[in-house]
Chains A and B, each alone.
Chain A
Amino acid sequence: MMSHSLKSNLGEKIVGKPTPRKEGPGKVTGEARYIDDLSFPDMLYGATVRSQIARGMLKKITFRPDVPWSEFVVVSVPDIPGKNYIALIENDQPCLAEKVVNHPEEPILLLAHPDRYMLPNAVAAVSIEYEPLPALFSIEESERKSEIIWGQDNVFKSYQIEKGDVDAIWAKADYIVEGEYSTGAQEQLYIETQGVIATYDCEQGVTVWGSMQCPYYVHKALMVVCDLPEDKVRVVQTETGGAFGGKEEYPSMIAAHAALLARKSGRPVKIVYDRAEDMAATTKRHPSRTRHRTALTKDGKILGGEIEFVIDGGAYQTLSPVVLSRGTIHAGGPYHWPAVRIIAKALATNAPPHGAFRGFGAPQSLFAMERHMDRIARTVKVSPAEIRRRNFLKPGQTTITEQTISEPIDLEKLLDRALVLSDYESKKSRFRQQGKNGKRKGGLGIAAFLHGAGFTGSGERYLSSVVGIEGQPNGGVRVLVSSTEFGQGTNTVLCQIAAEALGLEYGDVAIAQPDTAQVPNSGPTVASRTAMVVGKLLESAALGLKQTLIRAGMLGEPYAAEEFRCACRAYMERYGELRSLARYEQPDGIHWDDQKYRGAAYAAFAWAVYVAEVSVDLTAYSVSVDDFVALQEVGRVINPVLARGQVLGGVAQGIGFALYEKVEWRHGRMQNSQMTNYIVPTSADVPPIRVYFEEIANQHGAFGAKGIGELPMDGPAPAIVNAVEDALGIPFNSIPLMPEEICEALTAAAGPPSAGHSFSGVR
């Protein structure tokens, strides 16, 4: 379904078409080289000696004598030439622990050896004595402050949002609805584990190749740890087998480790984590707890409310302030709040730092919001669809940060369409008729939500990204960005945008391998910003390239693709280089107040209504997602196959978040760091996912694009748990929702042992 504003764009030849993936053939034929496929002459393999306890003072390190230590390179804190921290926001996370450890996977020493198989024994042969200190393992323990493990109060960051007069609403309320909701940690589980190769050379400095999302983050971290100037650090992204946010900040750590070993040994060093180390030691989604207290009129309109949103950041601050920020701004969902107070905190615990994961705080606070909407519906006694309809944001109204909705989004229509597509009403009456008998119970759940595209608030202005494009000797062009491909489609979508902007064929556009020595800093590949923000800059850079040819008198408009190629070749023959750069400038009318947390939080929001159909097996207490409708408005869809793929993957990951993926913690350490016991859904657990798009062109995005990558992670969990409540009449407010909890709830409701279905006998 197209909206009016898109009509003018329908002449597009490449944007909006399912062009094949640029890197697809390499991946399919096996020509693509991932980091562990690469090998350098004289290369060593590195490994990490980690803390064994959650918190304590390091006392003594001993090396068991039965290991030939002379064959090993050993790096400890004194080998760090620069500063001992991984540069990010607060710079509180050491590269190697020096006096204290703050989580049970903290790196202490690094080892390298020519034979990778010699490393596990050697790691085990380093014994470390500690003086243990009391540790904190949950939001509640951190809040109680029985120990102060970070700063003055265990608080990494807090925000407060105030809109309207919250204190005045309670007296006017017909209903006040309260609820508490929580979400668990979740592992990104990219197929390719973290890995890098580093080389070090006195002349050239340090070079790191690796699997990553943000080459310039790694670049910055290496400059600090290695004490090298900008031009002596080079970072190259190799083919990356999945990331989901998990390769936003952690690659800086593993790259710094490999660089230190390379510097000390004078040889290339590869570090590739095995699955168990990757799962246990690297970042996961922040566990969260959200409390809602909402004032409503008698017909269920929100008067206002208080929301408390708390996330567990783990042992170091890392990206927690930014995750908290996005979670806070999304905490009110796609609803109109005349008055709201949001208090948000990221707290320290003695677990490995939690970090970026698709959705970045929003799936947590939106789970709470959308579960709470169903609670409100039940209290006010209107349907879940109707309660949402009565409270949806409308154009001209403002969000919780008082950003005015200026685009013509009609959430009621979006909801109506989702209900029709999911056959909601007739399924609902069928489930009602099934009543209490039967071995399975069906239910339907709705989630309505939004997701802001690009960096929050002033983020894009601070990033000040630069994007380039250059002519090629064959007359085609090459895109120059540090934006990375990790399965989501960056290469393809950016090449489509450049080809469309220049009137070229898709095949005329190539994209450079992200290499900090070759490409400008187009910002990190995060926050659903690439198609929208980087794409828009690329469009500008491409137009600049075209103007250069026109001004040189080599090209006149209109032109055919072949004329462009001729002009490009001619220009390069005469001048040697044809290149155009574009730098981000904040669009007019976008204002953000970082102090009051007020203003235009995002340049664009994507909107969605998802409907989940589940059945609960009353013998096994397991939930099966049987049908799923994912309807979203994401601006212009640049590549329909890749966009659909983003939604399919996001919904599958959301099903895992809701029903399967449970990190079993023990004293801050993940116990189930294997794929046999950390359970993600397989194709057998994922229903047919029916994906639909609405398109409202976004003036801030390339050809009208908004962000899409994270959005589909936000809705599935609340839609599914809402559906479970619809099926069983029991509210569950914590995910992952495991069969054991459903068993507990149902058997408690049914009384002692012989629950389950009743025996029907022989007639």
Chain B
Amino acid sequence: MRSNPAEFEWAAPATLEEAVKVLAGDPDAWLPIAGGTDLMVQFAAGTLERRRFLNIWNLGELRRIDGFPGELQVGAGSTYTDLRENDIITREFPLLGRTASWTGGIANQNRGTLGGNVANASPAADSLPALMVYGADLILTSTRGDRRVRYEDFHTGYKRMNLAPDELIRTICLPRRFSGYISYARKIGTRKAQAIAKVCIAAVGRLAKDSTQLMLEDVRIAVGSVAPVPLRLRNAEQLLNRRPLDEARVELACKAAAAEIQPISDLRSTAKYRAQIVNNLVREFLDTLAARERER
């Protein structure tokens, strides 16, 4: 271990209210820590700059999942295991349960939290594309009060986000309007499990009968690990929505996707491979849509 524990301070407030107060006292010094599944890796490697941990693990207000008529509210402290075990998520937001099952192993899933994953802002995070396609909102909280923002606009650059230093993520809100959608997600990692994504994708959509033919509706595609932030493929979506699903459309959508992503070469993969994989996965998603339709 390359960090010296003696150089670190640890505050463990009992409530969320106390936690935001502590944070407000010296916002730039504190590093909120929930499951710590990423921070502890950095701690061991000796690469953390901040020296004060604010423990928000297992705060009751953050670790709850509430189903309201129009919206599912997921507390930011909910673990991947909590997500996997929740019935509403399994039924209405299957991509979230599935992507949660991809992160780390059982131990990581018992510790890692959805809010932590959002705030950690890794472009390779498995669950974030799912939040994008489900049109999530975030409720952020501080001593100044709560504010609600669109998740899609939350990440503003590599590890930069629309979160003030004194704010914590309180809730992830998911509109309950995706039943009947066909969903697709895939992670291309460095191996079959316990891996970081080279590319990950989450997508939903519907096929609806127009007067004569099947048209794509409300297609939503988001990808990870191919840009500084998790990315919604807006241009590709636009080319697909309210259009018939045929080879020419697929071709156009893939070209648009290729223009939207900004993949890089790093220790895990190459830019060229990532671009080709996005192309293949968008195709595979559209193929899945078509296949599901054929099954009906």
Footprint of B on A, CB under 8 Å? 115, 117-118, 120-121, 274, 276, 439, 619-622, 624, 660, 664, 671-672, 674, 676-677, 679, 681-682, 684-685, 739-740, 743-744, 747, 753-763
Contact = CB atoms under 8 A, between A and B. Distances in A.
A743 B276 contact: yes
Contacts of A620: 188, 277, 280
Interface in B176-218: 188, 190-196, 198, 207, 214
B267 interface: yes
22 contacts: A117-B5, A120-B2, A274-B2, A619-B281, A671-B267, A676-B41, A677-B190, A677-B267, A682-B194, A685-B191, A740-B269, A740-B272, A743-B273, A744-B273, A753-B276, A753-B279, A757-B284, A760-B287, A761-B246, A762-B207, A762-B245, A762-B290
Interface of B: 1-6, 41, 44-46, 188, 190-196, 198, 207, 214, 245-247, 250-251, 254-255, 258, 267-270, 272-273, 276-277, 279-281, 283-284, 286-287, 290-291, 293-294
Contacts of B198: 739
From A622, A743, A760, residue with most partner B Cβ within 10 Å: A743
A120 B290 contact: no
B248 to A, nearest CB: 10
B279 A754 contact: yes
Nearest to B244: A762
B267 A672 contact: yes
B267 A664 contact: yes
Contacts of B291: 760
A276 B42 CA distance: 12
B4 A121 contact: yes
B63 to A, nearest CB: 26
A761 B290 CA distance: 6
A677 B287 CA distance: 32
A403 B192 CA distance: 44
Contacts of B41: 676
Given A120-B46, A762-B294, 19 more contacts: A439-B284, A620-B188, A621-B273, A677-B268, A679-B191, A684-B191, A684-B194, A685-B192, A739-B269, A740-B270, A740-B272, A743-B276, A744-B272, A753-B276, A753-B279, A754-B279, A756-B276, A757-B280, A757-B284
Contact of A619 (B2, B268, B280, B293): B280
A622 B196 CA distance: 15
Contacts of B287: 757, 759-760
Nearest to B4: A117
B254 A753 contact: yes
Nearest to B190: A679
A192 B3 CA distance: 20
A9 B38 CA distance: 57
B276 A682 contact: no
Contacts of A664: 267
Contacts of B273: 621, 739-740, 743-744
Contacts of A757: 280, 283-284, 287
Contacts of A744: 272-273
B226 to A, nearest CB: 14
Contacts of B254: 753-754
A258 to B, nearest CB: 19
Majority SS at the chain A contact face:
loop
Contacts of A677: 190, 196, 267-268
A194 to B, nearest CB: 16
A757 B282 CA distance: 11
Nearest to B5: A117
B4 A120 contact: yes
Contacts of B280: 619-620, 755-757
Contact of A682 (B44, B191, B207): B191
Contacts of A679: 190-191, 195
A677 B198 CA distance: 11
Query: 3 nearest interchain CB pairs?
Result: A756-B280, A117-B4, A684-B192
A762 B192 contact: no
B191 A660 contact: yes
A118 B251 contact: no
A617 to B, nearest CB: 9
Contact of B286 (A621, A753, A759): A759
A757 B288 CA distance: 13
Contacts of B196: 676-677
A117 B193 contact: no
A277 B276 CA distance: 35
B174 to A, nearest CB: 28
B190 to A, nearest CB: 4
A681 B286 CA distance: 31
Contacts of A439: 284
B90 to A, nearest CB: 22
A7 B266 CA distance: 58
A619 B201 CA distance: 13
Contacts of A681: 191
A754 B250 CA distance: 10
A743 B192 contact: no
A679 B192 CA distance: 11
From A115, A660, A740, A755, residue with most partner B Cβ within 10 Å: A740
A660 B270 CA distance: 15
A761 B2 contact: no
From B194, B207, B276, B291, residue with most partner A Cβ within 10 Å: B276
A753 B246 CA distance: 18
Nearest to B187: A620
Contacts of B46: 120
A756 B279 contact: yes
Contacts of B268: 677
Given A276-B45, A619-B280, A620-B277, A660 B294 contact: no
A478 B191 CA distance: 45
Nearest to A680: B191
Given A117-B1, A622-B188, A679-B195, A759 B276 contact: no
Contacts of A743: 272-273, 276-277
A620 B294 CA distance: 24
A679 B194 CA distance: 10
A755 B191 contact: no
A607 B268 CA distance: 37
A738 B179 CA distance: 39
B258 A753 contact: yes
Contacts of A117: 1, 3-6
A750 to B, nearest CB: 10
A216 B269 CA distance: 43
